[in-house]
Structure 1
Amino acid sequence: MVIALPAHSEGNASAASNDSAIPSLKGKRIGITAIGTDHYWDLKAYQGAIDEVKRLGGTPIALDAGRNDNRQIAQIQTLIAQKPDAIIEQLGTASVLEPWLQKIRQANIPLFTIDTASPASLNDTTSDNFFIGEQLALKLVNDIHGEGNILVFNGFYGVPVCAIRYDQLKAVLKYYPKVHIIEPELRDVIPNTVQSAYAQVSQLLTKYPKGQIAAIWAAWDVPQVGATQAVDAAHRNEIKTYAVDGSPDVVSLVKDPKSSAAAVVAQQPALIGKTAVDNVARYLAGDRSLPPYTYVPSILVTKDNAAQLQQALGQIAAK
């Protein structure tokens, strides 16, 4: 189900589209390469792209790299050799990917991306992560009344969307001088993200007694699960946790009045994947008016609206 939200940024291609107006992909082969699908967001975006290629009559060549950079590079090489009509690349480490994204273009294969900003990409379908980062940061500082120490997970700055969200947090905190990030910053990892976050936060809750930590921030929501579990287990209800993506388990945590999860910005990953394919279809049909970025709306989930948004996000059945 798609959230009925207007795009807040003008001058960008809207994610809302009339399905009947999308050109057919009959006879077209579309390569899809993803760095991984173990996270809810990644899987939904990946599956959304595959499903839309099929719906439009095309053939998806879908490859999941299992969170291995070298494997994704090998898969990109495989796709280039197969010469599909277009390639869609989803997430990954920008510095590692960029030379290989350039090779896709050098092979005269149209390249589209999902959450990967690259000069080689004809169009990147994503959420407006500048707005997401600002929105989440403002929610955090207002909840803690503009004062207090915060823990920050910053393990994937090489992923552009994570870097943007982190940079927006720092930009907001510049104007809240009584809010301080505890150093060193925490490192989120893959795999075992929840367990690692739980262990790191539990250790710091022992080091910093009640009143010395006000909030915990993460650029995506799997570390938020571990952080929330650690805070709740320690009965530190003065601490609130914040993150981005809106996985069903995290939205449920935010909904729970007893949980320390205060907010998560929910994206629409299936719609992002679908929209990327729709842009490919338009391009292959001759449309050269696509902008560099297509932004799909996101929404801030809080204690006040989580129950309502579970249904709007398609995470629970309509009553």
Structure 2
Amino acid sequence: MLKKSQTWASLGAVIALGALLAGCSVKQEAPAPAAAATAAPAAASADVPSLEGKTIGIAAKDVVRDFGRLTYQSVQDRVTELGGTVIATQADAKDDKHVANVENLISQKVDAIVVILGDSTTLAPALEKADAAGIPLFTIDHASPHSVNNIGSDNWNIGSTVARTLAEDLRGTGSVLVFNGFYDVVPCQIRYDEFRLVLKNYPDIKIIEPELQDIYEGTIEDAKRKTADAISREGAENINAVWSCWDLPAIGAAQAIDAAGIKTIKTYGVDAEPGALDLIANPDSSYALTVAQQPSLFGKTSAENVARYLGGQQDSVPLSTYLDAVVVDKANVAERRKELGLE
């Protein structure tokens, strides 16, 4: 069996293939979205071993957004259903606290750790410590060379889909206001890189400089102010779209655009936060599109991969698990909300 360092090096080549990997072994098949995805078995099964006698540490960066909160809760729920004991921590969106929580779980000698989100640079030393301590590490939306398995959406597909939709909506010409404050967060990095890659084929679409820096606390109000300032500085007629790798900055941007009565700027994000869905459902809002991930399925799948790994089924746990994401726009928002239980 390859060491994780060797496997990670191989993954670098795999990643370069991007969307061509739909049938590759690094993609673990998972249930379809909607009702089928939320109906978890009540306990262990032939496919998913018991976690009885095992203690699983969970370290979430925050539970402010629906994505973090639902993922955090679903990992705990599934570990408990499988008979395991949970030690759960969340860091209130503070990187130093997130690192401390992981280190505390290591000191408690848990049987496995699930890490939800986080800055790749800041967290790396703590994750290396977990690996050195022999504690299997599982991550959610945080690819790491020290992780046994990372759960995420296909962010290459998400990034290119949002970018292509934006470019086609602009009919290949225009100027885009971009929020890019979290490039070290792997999903945002991938989505941004895909955005830039797609725009190479749309040379008449320009990114407005300087790019805006979104923040993690007070995100919506901060983005609302920065968007209003950009509109004042550039002129509404010189901005055609707003791009963000997640919904909260896009919500603030849409609020600023809508409050100004501007009808010529469209806003694009990712995550299907309730506030984003409300704006997309409003025909008068500039919010055009988001992509719904499946946070409860993320957590459930991660917990089951922990159980398989600790239950002697290591070969059945892939390095990366990509779950389906769902595009939500003004034409389908009501239908998608119902399908995904987001009403």
TM range (shorter): over 0.9
1:13 and 2:28 aligned? yes
Q: Could you tell me how far apart the structure 1 residues matched to 2:311 and 2:94 are?
A: 34
Aligned to 1:211: 237
- Residue 331 of structure 2: which of 304, 307, 311 is its match? 304
Aligned to 1:104: 130
Deviation, structure 1 residue 281? 0.5
Deviation string, structure 1 residues 140-195 (Cα, Å, up to 9, x no partner): 00111111000000000010111100000000001100000000000100211000
Q: Could you tell me how far apart the structure 2 residues matched to 1:303 and 1:97 are?
A: 38
1:228 and 2:243 aligned? no
1:248 and 2:261 aligned? no
Q: Could you tell me how far apart the structure 2 residues matched to 1:77 and 1:149 are?
A: 44
What residue identity is the alignment partner of 1:298? A
- Residue 222 of structure 2: which of 185, 196, 206 is its match? 196
Q: Could you tell me how far apart the structure 2 residues matched to 1:39 and 1:295 are?
A: 21
Q: Secondary structure at the match of 2:150?
A: strand
Q: Secondary structure at the match of 2:176?
A: strand
Q: Secondary structure at the match of 1:14?
A: coil
- Residue 126 of structure 1: which of 152, 168, 176 is its match? 152
Q: Could you tell me how far apart the structure 1 residues matched to 2:100 and 2:165 are?
A: 41
Deviation string, structure 1 residues 59-92 (Cα, Å, up to 9, x no partner): 1110001111111121111101111111011111
Aligned to 1:38: 64
Q: Could you tell me how far apart the structure 2 residues matched to 1:132 and 1:62 are?
A: 29
Q: Secondary structure at the match of 1:113?
A: strand
Q: Could you tell me how far apart the structure 1 residues matched to 2:236 and 2:177 are?
A: 14
Aligned to 1:172: 198
Q: Could you tell me how far apart the structure 2 residues matched to 1:215 and 1:101 are?
A: 38
Q: Could you tell me how far apart the structure 1 residues matched to 2:83 and 2:318 are?
A: 25
Deviation, structure 1 residue 208? 2.5
Q: Could you tell me how far apart the structure 1 residues matched to 2:88 and 2:203 are?
A: 47
- TM-score, with structure 1 as normaliser: 0.94
Aligned to 1:138: 164
What residue identity is the alignment partner of 1:9? A
Q: Could you tell me how far apart the structure 2 residues matched to 1:33 and 1:227 are?
A: 30
Q: Secondary structure at the match of 1:245?
A: coil
Q: How many residues get paired?
A: 309
Which structure carries more helix by proportion?
Answer: 2
What residue identity is the alignment partner of 2:30? A
Q: Could you tell me how far apart the structure 2 residues matched to 1:94 and 1:76 are?
A: 13
Deviation, structure 1 residue 307? 0.7
Q: Could you tell me how far apart the structure 2 residues matched to 1:135 and 1:61 are?
A: 37
What residue identity is the alignment partner of 1:302? D
What residue identity is the alignment partner of 1:301? V
Deviation string, structure 1 residues 242-291 (Cα, Å, up to 9, x no partner): 01111122112112111110000110011101111110011111112221
Q: Could you tell me how far apart the structure 2 residues matched to 1:313 and 1:210 are?
A: 35
Q: How does 1:273-312 map to 2 (within 5 A)?
A: 273-289=299-315, 290-312=317-339
Q: Could you tell me how far apart the structure 2 residues matched to 1:265 and 1:94 are?
A: 23
Q: Could you tell me how far apart the structure 2 residues matched to 1:280 and 1:13 are?
A: 14
Q: Secondary structure at the match of 1:198?
A: helix
Q: Could you tell me how far apart the structure 1 residues matched to 2:194 and 2:231 are?
A: 26
Instruction: Structure 1: state its 5+ residue gaps.
Output: 1-7
Deviation, structure 1 residue 15? 2.1
Q: Could you tell me how far apart the structure 2 residues matched to 1:157 and 1:59 are?
A: 35
CA RMSD of aligned residues (A): 1.3
1:62 and 2:62 aligned? no
1:73 and 2:86 aligned? no
Q: Could you tell me how far apart the structure 2 residues matched to 1:210 and 1:216 are?
A: 12
Deviation string, structure 1 residues 201-243 (Cα, Å, up to 9, x no partner): 0111122334211100001000011000000011111100001
Q: Percent identity?
A: 44
Q: Could you tell me how far apart the structure 2 residues matched to 1:191 and 1:99 are?
A: 24
1:159 and 2:188 aligned? no
Q: Could you tell me how far apart the structure 1 residues matched to 2:204 and 2:78 are?
A: 48
Aligned to 1:25: 51
Aligned to 2:340: 313
- TM-score, with structure 2 as normaliser: 0.88
Aligned to 1:187: 213
Instruction: Structure 2: state its 5+ residue gaps.
Output: 1-20, 32-36
